[in-house]
Structure 1
Amino acid sequence: MAKKRKQHDEEHINETWLIPYADLLTLLLALFIVLFSSSQIDSKKFEQIARSFSSALDGGTGVFDYQSPFEEESEEPSLNQKIGKNEKKQLQQIQGKINQYIQQENLTGQLKTTLTEEGLLITILNDVLFDSGSAEVRPQDRKLAQEISQLLAMNPPRSIIISGHTDNVPINNSQFASNWELSVMRAVNFMKLLLENKQLDPQWFSAKGYGEYKPVASNSTEEGRQKNRRVEILILPNEPIN
């Protein structure tokens, strides 16, 4: 009888290894749930988690003694960043070409370029294209529009937005009931003149009118009002620029 009891006790003792084994599996499962649920795991986070679980398991060798499976974050720019920088460089080259034209034709008081977060902005200043209250490009300024159209022939093509702007002096004539309508038609008519260049594809162009609502100077002076009466050409990047 005593022999049977001893044999029963030994079998019971031998089964106790299942308890720490089950605890270990539970800890491992918890670890991988944490790892896979994280949106971004780097080597430092992995080491911290590893130390925590190793402490809980009272040390020893195991999976936490191996090198982290997650690669160190590369300091090299990502593909999107490279594309963005390349696109910015291309817009800067276009800007340089346009600036060269401005210098050669002595148009610094009429045209200027600015590289913005939105893209390359070409501003036509000081009522260069239109008579007061009119949306028709003046005959003497058609040549300027045609030359600008040559500068807009790019490969690859880019979306281009033509926008019209006015000062805040009210207008109410037989053609236009507001500055808003005047600005829209100025943008449309200038765009149509650009598109006489068959090198340009109309599908890349659009027109907007902002009226008096995006001034770049104060309307309280004649000089400021002149600056606000303008047409802008926005060349959009094909990829976001950084």
Structure 2
Amino acid sequence: MAKKHKCPECPAGEKWAVPYADFLSLLLALFIALWAISESNPAKTEALKTEFIKIFDFSPSNVVESETSNQQQYKGASKTPQDELEALKELTLTQQETIKKLKAALDQQENQVALQLPARIEFERGSADIVSQDVRDFLKYMVDFTKGLPSKIQVEIRGYTDNSDTALRSFDLAYKRAENVANYFIENGVNTKSISIKSFGLNQPLDNDASLTKNNRVEIYYKMDVTDEQTQKSVIERLDTFNP
């Protein structure tokens, strides 16, 4: 009877390959999930980004400091319109620019971005008349600026008052102030379909002392879809090139 030959032991495989493949599969699933969230819910994406920074003790500023000057230049050249908007917001929230420079503060509200120029249009107490030459000059700048913006942008004109009168009268006065500014825009060639008016009356004072004169004002907001990067880019270019 022939003697059976024992099967030689197979060489041990790479044991790390299986768990490594599982890890890559999970990582791919994570990236797909993050991509899906970023497409459907940008706000949630920002929240997740903040949490990841905390977990991994990662600071973007550390990376920037370690880059070479060439890398920094390349990174700056590849900024998205949203990056530019955020940089513009940080700049204008820390300083008041003169009227002629027309720098802007950005405020993201739900699905819109609101652009507010830092200078205010102020009124005499109890009056809705535009009498100051400085105010008229500023409005002229604003009209010229507005005409150069994409037609998709909505111009929202908001009126306010101090607390020297009743809430109802203050509401009416604030509306009349915003209406007078809107009429100035329309009379000087701004499309009436792009303009809306809001009255806040004696609400939202700029100072704890609600009777201060600076609360008698009108503010102008330019509103655009937060997902419309092309329009946002056009606004940035308009800000950069506009010289009243």
Q: Number of matched residues?
A: 173
Contact 2:205–2:215 (CA<8 Å) still a contact in 1? yes
Give the direction of change, closer, same or farther, for the CA distance of 1:163–1:22 in structure 2 (3 Å limit).
same
Q: 2:180 — aligned with what? A: 189
Contact 2:121–2:218 (CA<8 Å) still a contact in 1? yes
Offset at 1:194? 1.3
Counterpart CA distance in 2 for 1:138 and 1:32 is 66
Give the structure-1-normalised TM-score: 0.52
Q: 1:115 — aligned with what? A: 104
Unaligned runs of 5+ in 1: 41-71, 101-112
Match 1:205 to one of 195, 201, 214: 195
Offset at 1:139? 7.6
Please give the secondary structure, in 2, of the residue aligned with 1:149: helix
Offset at 1:180? 2.2
Offset at 1:144? 5.5
Contact 1:120–1:236 (CA<8 Å) still a contact in 2? no
Contact 1:87–1:239 (CA<8 Å) still a contact in 2? no
Please give the secondary structure, in 1, of the residue aligned with 2:201: coil
Q: Is residue 158 of structure 2 the alignment partner of residue 171 of structure 1?
A: no
Q: 1:76-110 CA deviation, whole Å, 9 max, x = no partner? A: 14542576269949x99xx989427xxxxxxxxxx
Q: 2:21 — aligned with what? A: 29
Counterpart CA distance in 2 for 1:153 and 1:229 is 26
Give the structure-2-normalised TM-score: 0.52
Offset at 1:126? 3.7
Contact 2:120–2:219 (CA<8 Å) still a contact in 1? yes
Q: 1:31-88 CA deviation, whole Å, 9 max, x = no partner? A: 3214313438xxxxxxxxxxxxxxxxxxxxxxxxxxxxxxx9x751454257626994
| Percent of residue pairs bearing the same amino acid type | 21
Alignment of 1:70-219 (within 5 A): 76-77=75-76, 78-80=78-80, 84=84, 88=88, 98-99=99-100, 115-118=104-107, 119-121=115-117, 122-127=119-124, 132=126, 135=128, 137=129, 147=140, 148-156=142-150, 158-171=153-166, 177-198=168-189, 200-219=190-209
Counterpart CA distance in 1 for 2:30 and 2:130 is 63
Please give the secondary structure, in 2, of the residue aligned with 1:217: coil
Counterpart CA distance in 2 for 1:96 and 1:225 is 22
Counterpart CA distance in 1 for 2:232 and 2:16 is 49
Give the direction of change, closer, same or farther, for the CA distance of 1:216–1:38 in structure 2 (3 Å limit).
same
Offset at 1:178? 3.6
